[in-house]
């Protein structure tokens, strides 16, 4: 018998954790001599008060949906993929190669192949840690951390020595051709009569990200493969006795995870920067951890949590612009969310379980 | 490469290996007791900031060191509460601690000093100064051994000597004391330790706090000895290199020193030479940066001597009721 009704597990615990993180963040803002209420107002205004703000919020949210889904699908298989950052970096390389090497006639075609390239590179970067975990039992957390650093070094080498245009000091590729420019939300919404900010970076990749959420939901809960992934995550011996190959399932789950993280590059590299720069990922791979924890590894939860973090990111940028609160406040909030929804989960859960048990006893 | 260049290279190897070594030994205590710690980086960063901040305000580097250790212990305590008391996921707790440190240090630095997330440069008593070993001056004329003694062994700050003395100390504590035996047992089979009537929770907290202490010294060394002040993200992945060294050393103190010196040498080489010509092939500097991580993956893969972590690592201990 479950100690708690399902809604408490899915909704109540994340909300309480979020509330705790928010209260502590408010205390931090108070501590550095600023007004938390004014700060929240400024964040809401800046991130949600205009279509410009929404454009940025949704742009960040698109990144976080991909990386959050990547963490979530690995978590369903019982794996902690902390390497989303490296996989997204390599995904950027895939996008850049697809966009620069092939003269695309139209962005739709380019988008399909760029997403494929990004996914391929991201998956390839997840493949080695996955293989080592599946076959040799090397702890995937450590190997994916190491692969993040290796990815940074690889990207640095490729950008400085191979892809940098001649005469340029900047370690970045040249600009992608005009033909692969992805339409922004402004360009998408204008024909149907909706006015959307021209300068905001949110683009058609948002739809790809929403599609990815749907895909992951279908995969996890509506296919035999998803069933195998979940059984492996619940109990490896159990899955083995049921005839599920743990090696195969770990490999597939991690390849999909890496591909999803890599596909983030369609948004930030192809949709926004339109060239590959160093540190294009800006830590989005790590935010995926917070997003997946917050969203309870469910694609719809990840979708909501990604928008929440998109709001925090854009709001944080506005704070840094108008007040003396640095952008790093968002890193603190992110840390607190990870802490309460992840590591200190039991701190919230145990008292709640006791309350629900007491209530149930009272009814009988 | 002449003799003096090699001495200078080794000298900077020692200096760069010191923070790695301290953090690596910190991780050794924690992981030997069955508590994974990927938050070494965060604890070092926090300690680096508070040591530099207090040293800058008071002008006393020892107070800075204490503040650094204190702040690192707070984070270690948090890790303990999350992973021992509330039996949470130790890896996630470590990730949270890294972000907490990355954010809080800049936030507080900006609030206190308004210098874009850094502390003022430390001068005079705010820094650890080099210690000249006896007769270093007069012996420096002796061929070969003279420069080795005067340049390589002498002239480091006290924290460097502490770090290298911590290696035999760690070995002695872990392998020659009752506490060390119990600590290692709690990382392999906590139920057995519990049956023997020894507190698993107490031992694990002790290990986590020792880890905090050593990370604190490592961070203070970065900000008050290796460099003069705190800058944003100044640990620059050293906590993870230390983690890599720990795996490379297969959780053994003397090997940890070897691994840290090796990784320190790689850093020193990358710092001194941009690209290295080796028999007509140019090794790019990025390869040097990536090498510690690549080596660790190779070791983890078990192709060259398998690294097997403490058996109970990462698992919270639940006493049967």
| pLDDT over threshold 70, residue A110 | yes
B293 neighbourhood in chain A, CB within 8 Å? 146-147, 149-150, 153
Element (H, E) at B39: none
Question: Whole-angstrom Cα distance, residue A142 to residue A138?
Answer: 8
Pick from B89, B237, B309: CB nearest A343: B89
Q: Bridge-partner residues for A172, per DSSP?
A: A277
Q: Counting one residue from A and one from B, how many pairs have CB atoms under 8 Å apart? A: 156
Q: Do A132 and A143 contact (CB within 8 A), yes or no?
A: yes
State the DSSP code for A191. G
Please name the residues between 77 and 106 in chain A that touch chain B, using a CB distance below 8 Å: 80, 82
pLDDT digit string, tens, across residues B310-321? 888 878 888 765
Measured CA to CA, the distance from residue A263 to residue A88 in angstroms comes to: 7
Give the mean model confidence (pLDDT) for residues A293-305.
Answer: 92
Question: What local confidence, expressed as pLDDT, does residue A18 receive?
Answer: 87
What residues contact B161, with CB distance under 8 A and at least 6 apart?
B131
Share of chain A above pLDDT 70, in %: 99
In the predicted model, is pLDDT for residue A57 greater than 90? yes
What per-residue confidence (pLDDT) applies to B321?
55
DSSP per-residue letters across A300-350? HHHHHHHHHHHHHHHHHHHHHHHSS--THHHHHHHHHHHIIIIITHHHHHH
Predicted confidence at residue A292, as pLDDT, reads 92
Chain A CA closest to residue B88: A343
Q: CA of A220, closest CA in chain B: separation in Å?
A: 23
State whether B86 and A343 contact (CB < 8 Å).
yes
Cβ count near A5 (within 10 Å): 11
What burial letters (b/e) apply to A71-83, b meaning 16+ CB within 10 Å? bbbbbbbbbbbbb
| CATH number of the structural domain A50-172+186-349 | 1.10.3470
For residue B282, the 8-state DSSP code is E
Give the rounded distance of the alpha carbon of B236 from its chain centre.
12
For chain B of 321 residues, list the mean pLDDT of each consecutive stretch of 10: 82 93 96 92 95 92 94 96 90 92 92 86 82 76 77 85 95 95 92 90 95 96 91 89 87 93 87 71 80 83 71 79 55
Residue A1: the pLDDT is 45
**CA–CA separation, A150 vs B181, rounded Å?**
37
Q: Is A113 exposed, middle or buried (0-12, 13-18, 19+ CB in 10 A)?
A: middle
Cβ of B296 within 8 Å of Cβ of A344? The answer is: no
The C-alpha atoms of residue B104 and residue A327 are separated, in whole angstroms, by 11
B243 contacts A142 by C-beta, under 8 angstroms: yes
Q: Is A149 on the interface with B (CB under 8 A)?
A: yes
Pick from B35, B53, B89, B95 the residue to mutate for testing the A interface (most A CBs within 10 Å).
B95
CB atoms within 10 A of CB A359: 9
Label residues A289-317 b or e (16+ Cβ within 10 Å = b): bbbbbbbbbbbebbbbbbbbbbbbbbbbb
Q: Return d(Cα B147, Cα B3) in angstroms, integer.
A: 9
- The whole-number pLDDT of residue A348 equals 85
Per-window interface: B 23-62 vs A, CB < 8 A:
36, 38
HSE-up of residue A116 (Cα within 13 Å, Cβ side): 8
Interface test with B, best of A126, A146, A349 (most B CBs within 10 A): A146
> Following CA atoms A213, A216, A220, A222 in sequence, which dihedral angle do they give, to the nearest 10 degrees?
90
So what's the pLDDT on residue A364?
66
Confidence at residue B171, expressed as pLDDT on a 0 to 100 scale = 96
CA distance B175 to chain A (A): 26
Count the alpha carbons within 13 Å of B248 in the hemisphere toward its beta carbon. Answer: 28
| Radius of gyration of chain B from its Cα atoms, rounded to whole angstroms | 20
Tell me what pLDDT residue A363 has: 75
Interchain pair A82, B108: CB under 8 A: no
Residues A115-126 have pLDDT tens digits of 999 999 999 999
- A72 CB neighbours in chain B (<8 A) are none
Q: Is B73 near chain A, with CB under 8 Å?
A: no
Name which of B91, B97, B284 is nearest A141 (Cβ-Cβ): B91
Strand partners, A277: A172
- Which residue in A28, A138, A338 is closest to B96 by CB distance? A338
Contact between B301 and A338 using a beta-carbon 8 Å cutoff: no
Q: What is the pLDDT of residue B156?
A: 87
| Residue A232 contacts residue A250 (beta carbons within 8 Å) | yes
Whether residues B83 and A343 touch (CB distance < 8 A) is answered with yes
Q: Contact B297/A145, CB-based, under 8 Å? A: no
Helices (H), ranges, A132-223: 140-157, 185-189, 205-222
Residues 159-198 of B with CB under 8 A from A: none
Give dist(CA B138, CA A40) in Å, integer.
65
Would you say A159 and A152 are in contact if contact means Cβ atoms under 8 Å apart? no
Separation in Å, CA of A160 to nearest CA in chain B:
10
A143 lies within 8 A of chain B by CB: yes
């Amino acid at each position: 018998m479950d100690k708690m009704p399902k809604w408490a597990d899915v909704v109540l615990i994340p909300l309480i954790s979020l509330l705790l993180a928010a209260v502590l963040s408010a205390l931090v803002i108070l501590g550095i001599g600023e007004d938390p209420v004014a700060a929240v107002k400024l964040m809401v205004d800046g991130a949600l008060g205009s279509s410009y703000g929404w454009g940025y919020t949704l742009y960040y949210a698109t990144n976080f949906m991909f990386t959050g889904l990547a963490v979530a699908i690995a978590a369903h298989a019982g794996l902690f993929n902390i390497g989303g950052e490296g996989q997204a970096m390599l995904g950027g390389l895939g996008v850049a190669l697809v966009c620069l090497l092939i003269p695309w006639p139209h962005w739709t075609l380019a988008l399909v192949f760029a997403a494929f390239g990004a996914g391929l590179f991201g998956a390839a970067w997840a493949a080695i840690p996955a293989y080592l975990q599946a076959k040799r039992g090397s702890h995937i957390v450590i190997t994916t951390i190491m692969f993040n650093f290796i990815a940074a070094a690889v990207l640095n080498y490729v950008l400085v020595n191979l892809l940098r245009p001649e005469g340029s000091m900047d370690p970045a590729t040249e600009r992608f051709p005009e033909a692969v420019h992805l339409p922004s939300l402004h360009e998408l919404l204008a024909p149907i009569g909706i006015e959307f900010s021209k300068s905001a970076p949110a683009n058609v990749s948002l739809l790809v990200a929403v599609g990815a959420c749907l895909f992951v939901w279908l995969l996890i809960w509506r296919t035999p493969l998803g069933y195998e992934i979940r059984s492996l995550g619940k109990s490896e011996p159990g899955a083995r006795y049921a005839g599920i190959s743990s090696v195969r399932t770990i490999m597939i789950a991690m390849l999909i995870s890496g591909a999803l993280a890599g596909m983030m590059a369609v948004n930030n590299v192809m949709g926004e920067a339109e060239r590959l720069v160093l540190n294009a990922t800006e830590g989005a791979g790590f935010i995926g951890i917070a997003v997946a924890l917050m969203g309870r590894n469910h694609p719809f939860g990840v979708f909501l949590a990604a928008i929440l973090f998109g709001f925090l990111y854009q709001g944080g940028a506005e704070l840094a612009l108008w007040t003396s609160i640095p952008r790093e406040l968002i890193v603190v909030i992110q840390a607190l969310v990870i802490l309460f929804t992840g590591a200190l989960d039991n701190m919230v859960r145990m008292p709640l379980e006791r309350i629900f048990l007491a209530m149930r006893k009272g009814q009988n | 490469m002449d003799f003096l260049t090699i001495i200078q290279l080794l000298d900077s190897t020692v200096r760069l290996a010191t923070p790695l070594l301290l953090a690596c030994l910190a991780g050794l205590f924690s992981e030997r007791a069955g508590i994974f710690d990927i938050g070494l980086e965060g604890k070092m960063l926090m300690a680096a900031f508070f040591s530099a901040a207090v040293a800058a305000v008071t002008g006393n580097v020892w107070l800075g060191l204490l503040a650094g250790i204190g702040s690192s212990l707070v984070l270690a305590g948090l890790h303990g509460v999350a992973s021992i008391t509330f039996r949470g996921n130790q890896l996630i707790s470590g990730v949270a601690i890294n972000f907490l440190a990355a954010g809080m240090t800049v936030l507080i630095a900006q609030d206190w000093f308004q210098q874009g997330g850094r502390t003022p440069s430390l001068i005079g008593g705010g820094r650890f100064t080099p210690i000249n070993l006896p007769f270093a001056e007069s012996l420096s004329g002796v061929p070969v051994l003279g420069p080795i003694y005067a340049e390589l062994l002498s002239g480091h700050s006290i924290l460097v000597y502490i770090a290298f003395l911590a290696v035999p100390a760690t070995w002695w504590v872990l392998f020659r004391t009752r506490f060390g035996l119990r600590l290692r047992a709690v990382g392999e089979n906590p139920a057995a330790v519990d049956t023997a009537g020894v507190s698993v929770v107490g031992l694990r907290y002790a290990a986590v706090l020792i880890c905090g202490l050593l990370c604190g010294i490592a961070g203070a060394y970065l900000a008050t000895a290796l460099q003069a002040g705190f800058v944003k993200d100044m640990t620059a992945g050293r906590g993870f290199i230390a983690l890599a060294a720990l795996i490379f050393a297969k959780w053994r103190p003397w090997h940890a020193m070897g691994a840290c010196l090796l990784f320190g040498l790689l850093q020193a080489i990358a710092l001194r030479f941009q690209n290295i010509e080796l028999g007509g092939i140019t090794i790019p500097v990025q390869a040097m940066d990536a090498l510690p991580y690549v080596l660790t993956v190779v070791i983890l893969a078990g192709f060259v001597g398998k690294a097997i972590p403490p058996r109970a690592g990462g698992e919270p201990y639940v006493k049967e009721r």
